[in-house]
Structure 1
Amino acid sequence: ILDSLEERIDVTVFYQSGERLELNDLLNQYALESSKFHFELYDLDRNPGMAKKYGIGNYGETVVAYNGKRTKVSYPVEDKIIHAILKLTRKEKKVICFLKGHGENDVSNYNLRKGYSKLREALESEDYDVRELLLTKKEGIPGGVSVIVICGPKKDFLKEELEALHRFVQEGGKVLFMIDPFYDFPNLSAFLSVRYDVVLGNDVIVDQSNRTLGGDEFTVMIPLFLKHPIIQDFRTPVLFPLARSVEAKGNSRGGVYAQTLAQSDPKSFALSGKKALTGGKVSIEEGRRGPISVAAIVAVESKETGRGKEESFQEQIVILGDSDFVSNLYIDHLGNKDLFLNTVNWLGEEDSLISSRLKRPEHSYRFLKYQETKRLFWLLVILQPALPLIVGLVIYLRRKRKG
């Protein structure tokens, strides 16, 4: 982002006494990255006139100015500085539309388990214009939309709606599908298979060997990714609470090229239908062995040179076999948020946001696998308390033998 600056950018920070050194070190890192990044630090208590000039009333408030425009952030942390730079340098905001009308997840719902408000906040923090879209025969898809997100529909689509999405893609639009298991979509499944060479599996992924602490075998870690800019620097897996298979046929035909983006662990397997949730112990002999594809990316032939696998193809569609992974409950776990945001950034042609986010130091949850919890139990609960007893017993027996 700093490398793409065309003009000088000025950052003015009003700090509290004692914070100058820390803030100077932080901002100096940005200045070393780009000669166009300049900053000034003012003690708020000692510079009331300067603070009044910029309308500053609180410690840490920061003014970012670029090309005659300026904006204010509450504190100069990296996320807020990047957001301010994007806000000032972008000629226009990219519009991300969440489709509704089929029982999709609500990005305005703040409920921890059922809500997806954090998803909206994550997009807005990267300066996207987030809207909701209801497809109608009269209006269709409005102009100016960069990416349409279909997040966890519960009802099938009308054929007219799918054709509207197809026209949107033909005109250069991008679509992200996140489709949960155990919902039947005859029209959508046929549409993805025929138009885009992708098969939605009528199944659920099971992983007994990589169960998380407190989780079941249906909450799976996704460790295997295709070499692709969306996930090029991933260091942690993604957690899918409940996932279906998404298989790319891999046939480059009819102006479409589909390929696998992510797979489950080789020890996982896929069980068909709702059989896996009817009770009883599931067995690998009953399912299809892993690794199972849970995400696919589709490049569509374009008249203009794109960034797809072939020179005449442009990647415009991503299909993920789960939507719960970005609910309020799960979005901050492991690499979940990065996978979603990177996907939207790639589809929205905001590649610089991918690399900038992956360089940030993040605090995340550490999920223990089921086998790891068993080893920790034996180490901490059995062996460690027993060690003094064992040592004491050995010393006692030695002394008794000598005596």
Structure 2
Amino acid sequence: MNNKEKRPSIESTKFNFSRLAFSIKQNIRSVKQGVLLSGLLSIVLGFIIWIFLRDISQIGLWFILVGLILLILLGLLAWRSMLFFLFGRRGRYGLNSSIIFLTSLGLIIVINSLLYWLVSQPNQPEWLRVDTTATKQFILEDQAIKVIANLKEDVKITVFIATNTPEKAAGWRSIEDLLLEFKRRSKKVDLSYERIDPELDPNSAVKYGVNYFPSLVIEAIDSRRSQIIKGRQGTTIFSEQDIITGLLIVSQIKQKKVIFLTGHGERDITDFDQNSKGMGLIYSDLMTQNYKVLSATSQELAILLSEENIPAVVVIAGAEKGFTIQDSAIISEYLWLGGSLLVLIEPELTPEGIKTFLYKFGLAVGEGTIFDMASFVAPKPSYLQLKKTNGQILPHEITKDFDVLYLPGSTYIGSAYSPDTIPITENGEPFVKHVPLAFTTLESWAQNTQENEPIKYNSESDALGPFPTIMLIEAISEIGKSPKEKPDGTLAQTAIVVIGDTDFASNKYSSSAKNADLFVNSINWLAKDYELITIRPKTAAFRELVLTKSERDFIRWSGWLLMPISVGIAGMVSWWRRR
């Protein structure tokens, strides 16, 4: 190449308008491509920030807005190309596809918006909310719905919880789901809720007297009655049970009394040591159910009866000594004044006075401790495991939904009379009816452990199972006596639940399986508790997907790459065929 070829000609240095227009057109085309690329990248980046970086999601929205502005600007600069793209042969195919896509997307948005609006309405159709979880985590119990229906005035629930961490934000979402369900179920009165961040608005917390967080305040609007419910740490901060208890209190539904009898070596309800034989944890469970829980001697119970102050339930929790005839007479008087009784037996230590009292109702307390070689908690055959799958737990309101119970040391409860020998009324109603609720297996026997003999069945001295360990009594009279009429002409009735073990309800064992539920359910049933209901906390069914490292990698990379690559290949094939 010589110098003459490198040197520009005189003609090429002269101003040429057509050449300038062509150069500007080429540069504008490059600018358009840059604007298109910048707009698309800005939108994609904005979506990534908005979806994955929630703390700076506002910045992602700005990126999306800038990208849309750039694309609109591109459309204004290249409107001829846009018209050709839309109304050309290929454009018409693309336009049709775009219309179908946008129509489908719009229809989905409209349907979702309609469903969201319906769900937020208080009188929404029942079919809109379906809970497919194993333990029905997101719908209220039937009893809770009845309580809401009986509310007489508007209620406001104020939740004091911060949301400045992911854990706290997740906790608030769970609480809001629960409160929204309460709100939508309240059709007669207005049940509203709001959240207050105590860190941003501490004065509101002081106004309500809240000094623990998270907490919620349930307030009756007209009467101004309020109840503070303290939250828990963990995933379930407030339960359905907590809110129902607060609603019952602010609605001033009368508290029922549960009396724990003392003076005979019974368990201590003020002992909260988690490894002790005390029953402080059961006491707390009953208090959360809005019961008024007290302890009293037989003489103090007699004073209450003389004042016509009848407790709903009296509990004899593991009496070991000194149950006299006078004590028995006071309990009998209480029962026929409309009371109910829960008796927990202490194997081999139960005083004769308790046995004699129960014998009046045709019930015999067994001798010795039960050993069950077919269903026990190793290594102790006396630590009974009662399983529904073995047919050991019978269906009843008290044992509803029970799968397993643990009795760390139990005796047996049997009927002293054959059912056909029990007296009946003219209407055919038996004076006493026994309903067993739980049994041991065929491989069980009762043995007296105080004799220091080897733990082995002795056909000469030991009783052979299966044995009832929980017995329910419904009676209109004691055996050998006549039914009593009440002032309204109906027969006096009473109910007794007898459980062959006391330790199951102690602090050490009450949290095992359904042990605490057995005790509280018995109280509910004996108290005929249709208003002050018990709603058990729902447990989330844990279903873990266990994967190896290679399986995890396959799921990760197939989710990230397989679908995009498949769509890309399908697009390339379609483009190649149309080309």
> Shorter-chain TM-score category?
0.7 to 0.9
Q: Deviations over 1:191-226 (max 9, x none)?
A: 211x2111111122111122214x400010123233
Q: 1:345 aligns with which of 510, 524, 529?
A: 524
User: Is the 8 Å Cα contact of residues 258 and 296 (structure 1) preserved in structure 2?
Assistant: no
- CA spacing shift, 1:289–1:260, aligned 2, 3 Å: farther
Tell me the distance in 2 between the aligned counterparts of 1:361 and 1:137: 40
Are positions 1:211 and 2:376 aligned together? yes
Tell me the distance in 2 between the aligned counterparts of 1:139 and 1:262: 31
Deviation, 1:187, is 2.9
Counterpart of 1:253 in structure 2: which amino acid? P
Give % identity: 22
Are positions 1:280 and 2:454 aligned together? yes
Q: Deviations over 1:247-280 (max 9, x none)?
A: 13463436632313323332342324336x6242
Q: 1:298 aligns with which of 473, 483, 506?
A: 473
- CA spacing shift, 1:250–1:344, aligned 2, 3 Å: farther
Q: 2:268 aligns with which of 106, 127, 136?
A: 106
| Residue in structure 1 matched with residue 179 of structure 2 by the alignment | 27
Are positions 1:257 and 2:257 aligned together? no
1:98-247 correspondence to structure 2 within 5 Å: 98-111=260-273, 112-136=275-299, 139-142=302-305, 143-193=309-359, 195-213=360-378, 215-223=379-387, 224-234=392-402, 236-247=403-414
Q: Deviations over 1:285-307 (max 9, x none)?
A: 56433321112111122757xxx
Q: What runs of 5+ residues in structure 2 fail to find an aligned partner? A: 1-143, 164-168, 232-236, 425-429, 477-483, 543-579
3-state SS of 2:381 partner: coil
Tell me the distance in 2 between the aligned counterparts of 1:321 and 1:260: 14
3-state SS of 2:373 partner: coil
Task: Tell me the TM-score normalised to structure 2 length.
Answer: 0.56
Tell me the distance in 2 between the aligned counterparts of 1:92 and 1:293: 35
Deviation, 1:20, is 3.8
Larger mean Cα displacement after TM superposition, 159-168 or 81-90: 81-90
- CA spacing shift, 1:48–1:292, aligned 2, 3 Å: same
| Residue in structure 2 matched with residue 73 of structure 1 by the alignment | 229
- CA spacing shift, 1:156–1:56, aligned 2, 3 Å: closer
- CA spacing shift, 1:303–1:227, aligned 2, 3 Å: farther
Counterpart of 1:216 in structure 2: which amino acid? K
- CA spacing shift, 1:220–1:313, aligned 2, 3 Å: farther
Comparing both structures, which one devotes a greater share of its residues to helix? 2
Larger mean Cα displacement after TM superposition, 46-55 or 265-274: 46-55
Counterpart of 2:243 in structure 1: which amino acid? I
Tell me the distance in 1 between the aligned counterparts of 2:155 and 2:475: 38
Counterpart of 1:132 in structure 2: which amino acid? S
Deviation, 1:319, is 1.0
Corresponding pairs, count? 354
User: Is the 8 Å Cα contact of residues 268 and 292 (structure 1) preserved in structure 2?
Assistant: no
| Residue in structure 2 matched with residue 13 of structure 1 by the alignment | 159
1:305-344 correspondence to structure 2 within 5 Å: 314-344=493-523
Q: What runs of 5+ residues in structure 1 fail to find an aligned partner? A: 305-310, 365-403
Counterpart of 2:219 in structure 1: which amino acid? A
3-state SS of 2:410 partner: coil
- CA spacing shift, 1:58–1:137, aligned 2, 3 Å: closer
Deviation, 1:27, is 1.7
Tell me the distance in 2 between the aligned counterparts of 1:268 and 1:33: 50
Deviation, 1:38, is 2.7
Deviation, 1:125, is 1.4
| Residue in structure 1 matched with residue 479 of structure 2 by the alignment | none
Higher relative contact order (CA 8 A, sep 6+): 1
3-state SS of 1:356 partner: coil
- CA spacing shift, 1:42–1:153, aligned 2, 3 Å: same
Deviation, 1:316, is 1.6
| Residue in structure 2 matched with residue 40 of structure 1 by the alignment | 194
Comparing both structures, which one devotes a greater share of its residues to strand? 1
* Higher alpha-carbon Rg: 2
Deviation, 1:10, is 2.0
Q: Deviations over 1:142-183 (max 9, x none)?
A: 423111100001114111110111111111011111111112
Tell me the distance in 1 between the aligned counterparts of 2:366 and 2:174: 52
- CA spacing shift, 1:46–1:274, aligned 2, 3 Å: closer
- CA spacing shift, 1:138–1:247, aligned 2, 3 Å: closer
User: Is the 8 Å Cα contact of residues 207 and 217 (structure 1) preserved in structure 2?
Assistant: yes
- CA spacing shift, 1:22–1:225, aligned 2, 3 Å: closer
